[in-house]
Structure 1
Amino acid sequence: MARNEQLIRQHKLLQLLEISRFGRTLDELRDELVADLGLTTLHERTVRRDLEALQAAGFDIQNETLQRGKVYRLGQNTKGVHEIGISATELIALSIGRELLFPLMGTQYWRGIETFWNKVQETVPNGVFDHYSKFRKALYVFGAPSKSYEQHAGILKTINRAIEHHRVVEIEYESIGKPASTRRIEPYALAVYQSSIYVIAAAPEIKDPTQKLRNWKLDRFRHATALDEYFKPDENIDLPKYLGSSIGIFSGDNPTMVKIRLGARSAAYVREDPWHPEQTLKPETDESTILTVPASHPRELLPKVLSLGADAEVLEPAEFREAISQSVQAMAKTYTNN
């Protein structure tokens, strides 16, 4: 079996043992591995060898014979394998990151965050934790959307499994304003953008390689089934480049450079809180500045431009200017009619 599949299996074994209060038998571990990883078969001997490999790596995996058979569990000395020193400043940074990830609540990622956070609190010296508690009371994190992916935990597990094994997934997807439809996707990765999870996946029916990749919002998945069909990942796909090429979630290999005239006040805002790492701000007059920023779709630019009101004007390209113009005219009509 491929080395990466062995590592995935052993990592899942550790996860199962970590959450097991009373331990697991080989049968139970095998059945859960088959279910969680989408395997067709798995021999007990393979699970036993994985446990032995983890023990050899330093994990304190203990076993005892009970009425239901030989049971395996993580021993207390396992904590020593992960033991690290942590300062109050690092603890503050970790707690802030944890709160920023609240939208992941209900997913396996959140369970990992919580178990790690609990271990850290148990192992840090009292003096360090007291120092952390004192300063943490003066720092607040807010503004994240009040959402949770708990109801999508099963779908997320299916998607993760498909990403690992390059399996085609059949989904029921409901875009806003459209009826749910059944689609097939080839998932490559997950992305978290503004507290929402997106599945980065190719649409097999699209033949143009530059247009195949799509960002599917997990909130809109109604069902997902990993099929017994496999796909070969496109080696030419550069996910970091794809995701970082635009100012929002509408990604693409060839973003459009958009020019926007900003008033002095808006230019100051955009200088303080940049829209994109590659944006440029070029003074035009004492009262105006030209912002040039990459974007893949007018819709991702719309809320940012509208938030600046009349102090921002899209100059080019014409497609983006027209999209903003239509929205402004529709808004004006709504307010005029009322």
Structure 2
Amino acid sequence: MDRHERIHALHRIFKSSRYAVTVPSLQEQLGCSRATVYRDIAWLRDALMAPIVGDGDAGFRYDSHDESRFELPGLWLSSEELHALMAAQALMGHTGGNVLNSALAPLQSRIEKLLEEQAGGRRWPMERIRVLGHKARKIDEHSFRTVASATLERRELSFDYRARSTDETTRRHVSPQRLTHYRGNWYLDGWDHDREALRSFSVDRMTAAKMLETSARDIPEAELDRHLAGGYGIFSGDPKGVAIIRFNAKSARWVADEHWHSRQEGRFLPDGSYELKVPYSNGRELLMDILQYGGDAEIIEPRSLREQARTLLTLAASNYDRG
């Protein structure tokens, strides 16, 4: 029983007891030492202002005059919950650069106060928790806020979008469906009214975003899942095939514990290697993830994806042939 559970147990014991409860009895009920009982009683009385009266000889109880008015704080965290909150606080401070910092400042201060109360006045070593950004792209704060507001308020949205594939800028008119944080970056899934189709947009490529007065068109959840979550990674569309990748025994132990896709299939082979099957609609992101394993991974099927990998590896090798 951790401290969180013991405090709740002490509170229940004192609330239900008409007479003082002795320390040996509390030791037995809480399953802890005499010193721990005294520490928990002191915490309950001094930090949480519980109306505890009595002493170690006669026992302890709640003062009958104040008992009915006292309750434990509404938010009282276990050690696991507290540590998860500390990690969440560190994560909030690094999510999206400075985009969310001002919006989350009030919540951040509330969390810091709660952590201080839970720590009994001492300082938690927050520097012991690190959140490292990886390949996060800088986004325009105004655009992000506008996109988020339109998504939550269910309003249509317009913005200038500079596509990475063509480097051309076009004005887009969409009904936002979902805002997704994926691999350190933000993406908007929306219904493109000009193209009459679902599209995914990288928020860092948006400028001049404007929330419109018209209500957004809502696409059924099943259709969104089918179109946006069917293939591998962030690229949308129904799966066009299933990739079979074989990882050698050296990398198998890592890959077997990784989540690549909601409908992935994996199995260990007799030689210790690992075979992974993932559906995909666009091979670009899948190839990037496979090639980072270098010679430890081999695409078995389909042949077209295998040939794309061979071409990319040949081009990469040619960069080192010069000089």
TM-score normalised by the shorter chain: which range applies?
Answer: 0.5 to 0.7
Question: Which residue of 1 is the match for residue 172 of structure 2?
Answer: 183
Question: Which residue of 1 is the match for residue 313 of structure 2?
Answer: 328
**TM-score (structure 2 length as normaliser):** 0.66
Question: Which residue of 2 is the match for residue 263 of structure 1?
Answer: 248
Matched, 1:145 2:113: no
State, as a whole percentage, how many aligned pairs show the same letter: 24
Matched, 1:225 2:213: no
Q: CA shift at 1:218, angstroms?
A: 0.8
Matched, 1:115 2:100: no
Q: Which moved more, 1:311-320 or 1:83-92?
A: 83-92
In 2: Cα distance, 1:247 partner to 1:174 partner? 23
Q: Which has the higher helix share?
A: 1
> Which secondary structure does the structure 1 equivalent of 2:235 belong to?
coil
In 2: Cα distance, 1:285 partner to 1:273 partner? 20
Q: Any conservation in 1 of the 2:135–2:184 contact (CA below 8 Å)?
A: no
Structure 1 segment 200-239 matched on structure 2, within 5 A: 200-207=189-196, 212-235=197-220, 237-239=222-224
Q: Any conservation in 2 of the 1:279–1:294 contact (CA below 8 Å)?
A: yes
Question: Which residue of 2 is the match for residue 155 of structure 1?
Answer: 143
Question: Which residue of 2 is the match for residue 295 of structure 1?
Answer: 280
In 1: Cα distance, 2:212 partner to 2:171 partner? 13
Distance 1:311 1:118, change over 3 A: same
Q: Which moved more, 1:84-93 or 1:326-335?
A: 84-93
In 1: Cα distance, 2:308 partner to 2:123 partner? 49
In 2: Cα distance, 1:132 partner to 1:251 partner? 46
In 1: Cα distance, 2:120 partner to 2:215 partner? 49
**TM-score (structure 1 length as normaliser):** 0.63
Q: CA shift at 1:232, angstroms?
A: 2.7
Distance 1:295 1:132, change over 3 A: farther
**1:295 aligned partner, one-letter code:** Y
Distance 1:147 1:254, change over 3 A: closer
Which of 100, 103, 106 aligns to 2:98? It is: 106
Matched, 1:94 2:85: yes
In 2: Cα distance, 1:253 partner to 1:218 partner? 23
**2:244 aligned partner, one-letter code:** K
In 1: Cα distance, 2:116 partner to 2:152 partner? 39
In 2: Cα distance, 1:110 partner to 1:245 partner? 33
RMSD: 3.0
**2:284 aligned partner, one-letter code:** R
Q: Any conservation in 2 of the 1:252–1:296 contact (CA below 8 Å)?
A: yes
> Which secondary structure does the structure 2 equivalent of 1:171 belong to?
strand
Question: What is the number of equivalent residue pairs in this alignment?
Answer: 249
> Which secondary structure does the structure 1 equivalent of 2:189 belong to?
strand
Q: CA shift at 1:199, angstroms?
A: 0.8
Question: Which residue of 2 is the match for residue 48 of structure 1?
Answer: none
Distance 1:319 1:99, change over 3 A: farther
Where do 5+ consecutive residues of structure 2 fail to align? 1-72
Distance 1:231 1:237, change over 3 A: farther
Structure 1 segment 238-317 matched on structure 2, within 5 A: 238-239=223-224, 243-254=228-239, 256-317=241-302
Structure 1 segment 185-200 matched on structure 2, within 5 A: 185-200=174-189
Q: Any conservation in 2 of the 1:89–1:132 contact (CA below 8 Å)?
A: no
Distance 1:124 1:275, change over 3 A: closer
Deviations 1:7-43 (A, max 9, x none): xxxxxxxxxxxxxxxxxxxxxxxxxxxxxxxxxxxxx
Distance 1:166 1:142, change over 3 A: closer
Deviations 1:72-119 (A, max 9, x none): xxxxxxxxxx95223443232122123334133433x44454322311
Q: CA shift at 1:254, angstroms?
A: 3.5
Question: Which residue of 1 is the match for residue 156 of structure 2?
Answer: 168
> Which secondary structure does the structure 1 equivalent of 2:271 belong to?
coil
Question: Which residue of 2 is the match for residue 67 of structure 1?
Answer: none
> Which secondary structure does the structure 2 equivalent of 1:104 belong to?
coil
In 2: Cα distance, 1:162 partner to 1:299 partner? 30
